A and B are shown apart, each in its own frame.
Chain A
Amino acid sequence: MYSEMSDEELFQRMGGRKGEAEACFTELYARHAPRVNAYCRRFLGDKTIAQDAFQETFTRFFRTASQERSMTNTPAFLLRIARNVCLNIKRGEKQTVEIEDFHVPSEAPEHEKNELLKLITSALELVPVDYREAFVLREYDGLSYQEIADVTDSSMSTVKIRIFRAKEKLRQILATYLEDLNKV
């Protein structure tokens, strides 16, 4: 029953009685947890911190439902919460990684057997936060430039520039590998 409902309807019902609220939240979680997780994981880099941000995002989302009755764009709303949580975390930490320190972790997790993916995730850490965020929202969350502008409270032109710069930077870092890849 709940899987047939729209995000808006589910969000509205989340403010209702407990059983229904729980079921609606479960459905919304199933729909949007992957993209929220992708945003936190790739924007923050650190797995443990990303998991905290992920949990905090959904906690805030659940609590918001009891205060607000309508929601027009749940994914964007969730990503905005995630963004606030992640930026708060970012503000509390120091950026210490330099380009010279770039290295690929020697022990890659099982899921990162794809070498290029391993390089991308490592290289992303070297991309400035603003650029990285735009890149993650575009490539991982599949948002359009306009949606990214809405989520990040930026102009379209700013979003475009950030995406261009992020991709340019990534391409620079991965240049050698991509060159080899093209030769194959």
Chain B
Amino acid sequence: MQDFTPSEQLIQFLDGELPIEQEQNLFDEMALNPDLRSEMRDGLAVRSAIAKDVEAFTPTPDQTRAVFAGLGLSPPYAGSSGNNRAYAKYLSLVWLFLGLSIGSGLASWLSKDSFERQYAALKNKMQITIDGLNDKLNSSKPVMSSVEVPNKDEILTNTKEKVRTVIVYRDRIVPMMNFDDHSDAYEMNNYDVMAKQNNVSESDQHIISAAELQTPVAFNHTMPFNSPSISLSNSVQGFIGLSWSNNVGYPRFWTQVRGIGTLSQVPNISINSGIEELSNLNVSVGYSFNENFAAGIELGREPFMLRYNGIAKGRRTLYEQQSSMLLGGIVFQGKLSPLESLYNVQPVSSMFLGGSEIGPLARFSTGLQYPITQTITLYGGLEYSLLQFQFQSNSFLTQKLGFTYGMQINL
């Protein structure tokens, strides 16, 4: 048997190659030898640093493209070429733009249509009233021969002048479920990201750096299964907003800003770093067509729990991360008439359709509005979000369910 120095034994031990019968000798030596302990710390530091050598472990899309092109094969994923990768980068912006465009276009179209219908209805109602009066008076000379309602442009001008301001405050409580099994993920390092390899022990968990995981978009692998997961966060997220209304009894134009106040929040990493402090901010602008229906556009930045599978360093890996991302799209809001038997409580539902930086997003909420006064309304309800995203050519879903409550002030 070869005689190894304590340093060499330590190297073998760290590499898992030291025979068990020699381990005790090494431990005894380490107990007495501070230099050896220092060597162990150095060895672990080097190993830890190497594990974060993303560049070495990750072939670039250009490399992959070159390999496959050289063999006359098609690259295995959309993001294989530099151009495609750039396309993927802008895809999120396309989602945002599409959502906002559709929202504003639809709102514009619906507003015109709604106004035309309201104008026709008003004109018709007035004509019926005049006819009725004429019949009652049975006069040879009619009270009025035709409807005399203001022209449409006049009504629009007056409506705009009568717009009032409304301040809205809402909070959102979203209970946490997803990371309960791995709560230590947030304690293990600063990246707030954990990758747990399948088929390995818990102690052999591999921590992937934030740089590796910040953007879960396709880069190089095909897997046959989708892995939907339910992600619920325990953050209590603030909601403060402003909206404008006119004298028709409901907010005609409204805008909302939410997410300014945050009572607590789970740690998250951003898809794009730089504006962490705005990680839970939503702004929406909309138009109420009548007392029961409103539509608008919403733009914001909000965290979502992401759980997905992929291949890292040649091994199948489960990733979990919470990332805040830009989102935008159209929002529709429907209200039933106030329930007079129930203190004028008004059932409200809304639907958001749009996109985020990593994929399409849909959100549904339903609740009740309770008018305390003419200017103050309380709101409470449930909110459900569904986000679809891709990683290594596979599609994943994440869901978020929470309770929302708030207050609206009409000035």
Contact A167/B224 with A117-B52, A140-B50 known, Cβ cut-off 8 Å? no
CA distance A3 to B41 in the complex (A): 38
Contact of A25 among B57, B73, B211 (CB under 8 A): B73
3 A-B pairs with the lowest CB-CB distances in the bound complex, closest first:
A30-B221, A26-B76, A116-B49
Minimum C-beta distance from B203 to chain A (A)? 16
- Nearest chain-A residue to B39 (Cβ)? A171
Minimum C-beta distance from A107 to chain B (A)? 14
CA distance A108 to B67 in the complex (A): 27
Which residues of A have CB within 8 Å of B66? 51, 55
- Nearest chain-A residue to B62 (Cβ)? A51
Q: A54-B59, A110-B211 are in contact. List 4 more A-B contacts (CB 8 A).
A: A30-B392, A51-B66, A58-B71, A140-B56
Which residues of B have CB within 8 Å of A138? 15
Which residues of A have CB within 8 Å of B39? 171
- Nearest chain-A residue to B14 (Cβ)? A167
Q: Is A130 an interface residue when CB atoms closer than 8 A count as contact? A: no
Cβ–Cβ contact A51 & B63, under 8 A: yes
Cβ–Cβ contact B64 & A38, under 8 A: no
Q: Is A13 an interface residue when CB atoms closer than 8 A count as contact? A: no
Q: Give the number of residues in B that approach A within 8 Å (Cβ atoms).
A: 48
Cβ–Cβ contact A55 & B11, under 8 A: no
Contact of B58 among A34, A110, A145, A168 (CB under 8 A): A34
Which residues of A have CB within 8 Å of B42? 171, 174, 178, 181-182
Cβ–Cβ contact A37 & B53, under 8 A: no
CA distance A62 to B71 in the complex (A): 8
Cβ–Cβ contact B73 & A139, under 8 A: no
Contact of B49 among A27, A32, A55, A114 (CB under 8 A): A114
Q: How many contacting A-B pairs (Cβ < 8 A)?
A: 134
Most buried by B among A31, A35, A75, A117: A117
Q: Is B160 an interface residue when CB atoms closer than 8 A count as contact? A: no
Interface string of B44-75 (1 = CB under 8 A from A): 01110110111111111011101100110110
Which residues of B have CB within 8 Å of A32? 314
Which residues of B have CB within 8 Å of A3? 222-224
CA distance A23 to B56 in the complex (A): 25
CA distance A59 to B8 in the complex (A): 38
Minimum C-beta distance from A152 to chain B (A)? 16
Which residues of B have CB within 8 Å of A41? 55-56
Interface string of A4-27 (1 = CB under 8 A from B): 100000000000000000100111
Contact A54/B67 with A1-B224, A117-B52 known, Cβ cut-off 8 Å? yes
A80-88, A94-102, A157-165 - the one binding chain B: A157-165
Cβ–Cβ contact A75 & B314, under 8 A: yes
Interface string of B206-225 (1 = CB under 8 A from A): 00000100000000111110
Cβ–Cβ contact A140 & B73, under 8 A: no
Q: Could you write out 19 A-B pairs with CB less than 8 Å apart?
A: A4-B224, A22-B74, A30-B392, A32-B314, A33-B64, A33-B314, A35-B57, A35-B313, A59-B71, A114-B52, A121-B53, A140-B50, A144-B17, A160-B8, A160-B12, A164-B7, A168-B7, A171-B42, A174-B42
